[in-house]
Amino acid sequence: MLSTVLNKASRSGRARRAVEAVPITRKVVARFVAGAEQAAALEVARDAAAGGLATSLDILGEGVSDIAGARRTRDQYLALLDALASAGAGPATEVSVKLSALGQALPDRGHQVALDLAAEICAAATAAGTMVTLDMEDHTTVDSTLAIANELRREHPRTGTVLQSNLRRTAGDIADLAADPVRVRLVKGAYREPASVAYQRKVEVDEAYRADVARLMASRCYPMVATHDPAMIEVARRRAREEGRGASDWELQMLYGVRGDLQTALVAEGHQVRVYVPFGEEWYPYFMRRLAERPANVAFFLKALARAS
């Protein structure tokens, strides 16, 4: 399966060097990544706000190998939040953070290191009038990430978490959060996982996603439904109506560079839409996961290569 190959390639140093060596790659990456520098992401956020779209800015990078790297990530986020505070962006521009970029996987106190650094980022976000959503990574990180999110919400209650419908455990995780107004981004899941913990067939993942949308809409959580699938969007809209949720009681989320036409149309219909905007030099793993998610993305990449040849 092509998605399996691409997911493996996202973790391969050899594949990374090969892809990065293709001159056209950077131009194609620009469709999905706002740029290498903070200024580019801030410009995207300003343009999005002008069109009625909210944003979530993500500094690309994951799996740091030492505490110095984790602190560098922390410092990058503090600088970004300082810029957002100066711009008066408010909650229309939040930030997304991967805990592996804050040292979560370090062998010596990785969980505590990530918690401490994330707490600094959350404090800066609160001071800037915005919030943080903790991205979810592969299944081995879920317990630690949820525990850190729960701890952070003691001081920063708007700290969001991400749940992945391809994981068999997610219905239980929603049940654990259902009684509180937790911001929950629901995604299908972009990581290749073993059958023991994750659904393998698309039809199973789709069924789980629909059920998880229903669970979130019926809960006290604030659902952030992340999908580009018109059928899933309609499921979310119908469930929101059935549960009496107004436009301010939930939101849709989409990726930068994917279905911009649909994003604009949904805003025009009165929906809240937030765009996930990644930026930075460490684009390779993110880019390969985007290719793995949708065959149309692979076709776009191959067409660009053909035009360049």
Q: How far apart are CA 34 and CA 31, in angstroms?
A: 8
For residues 229 and 288, membership in a common domain is answered with no
For residues 161 and 270, membership in a common domain is answered with yes
Which CATH number fits the domain that encloses residue 156?
3.20.20.220
Q: How far apart are CA 242 and CA 100, in angstroms?
A: 38
Burial class, 276, CB count within 10 angstroms (exposed 0-12 / middle 13-18 / buried 19+): buried
For residues 121 and 212, membership in a common domain is answered with yes
* Phi and psi, residue 12, nearest 5°: -100, 120
- Under the banding of pLDDT at 50, 70 and 90, the label for residue 31 is confident
Least confident of 75-89, 121-135, 284-298: 284-298
**Per-residue pLDDT reduced to its tens digit, 67-76:** 999 999 999 9
For residues 69 and 168, membership in a common domain is answered with yes
**Per-residue pLDDT reduced to its tens digit, 254-265:** 999 999 999 999
Q: How far is CA 117 from CA 56, 75, 183, 247, in A?
A: 19, 9, 20, 33
**Per-residue pLDDT reduced to its tens digit, 269-289:** 999 999 999 999 888 878 777
H or E element: which one contains 145?
Answer: helix 142-155
Least confident of 11-20, 190-199, 220-229, 264-273: 11-20
Residue 62 per-residue DSSP state: -
176 tagged catalytic: no
- The residue annotated as part of the active site, out of 74, 153, 185, 192, is 185
For residues 57 and 125, membership in a common domain is answered with yes
Structurally, the chain folds into a number of domains equal to: 2
Question: With contact defined as beta carbons under 8 Å apart, do 137 and 191 qualify?
Answer: yes
DSSP per-residue letters across 20-46: HTSTTHHHHHTTTS--SSHHHHHHHHH
For residues 118 and 133, membership in a common domain is answered with yes
For residues 59 and 72, membership in a common domain is answered with yes
For residues 212 and 301, membership in a common domain is answered with no
For residues 25 and 118, membership in a common domain is answered with no
Q: How far is CA 140 from CA 98, 194, 271, in A?
A: 14, 11, 34
Instruction: Give the pLDDT of residue 56.
Output: 99
Q: How far apart are CA 226 and CA 255, in angstroms?
A: 8
- The residue annotated as part of the active site, out of 58, 135, 173, 206, is 135
For residues 51 and 141, membership in a common domain is answered with yes
For residues 263 and 151, membership in a common domain is answered with yes
For residues 81 and 170, membership in a common domain is answered with yes
Range of the structural domain that residue 15 is part of: 1-33+283-309
Question: For 129, left (φ over 0), alpha (ψ -120 to 50), or beta?
Answer: left
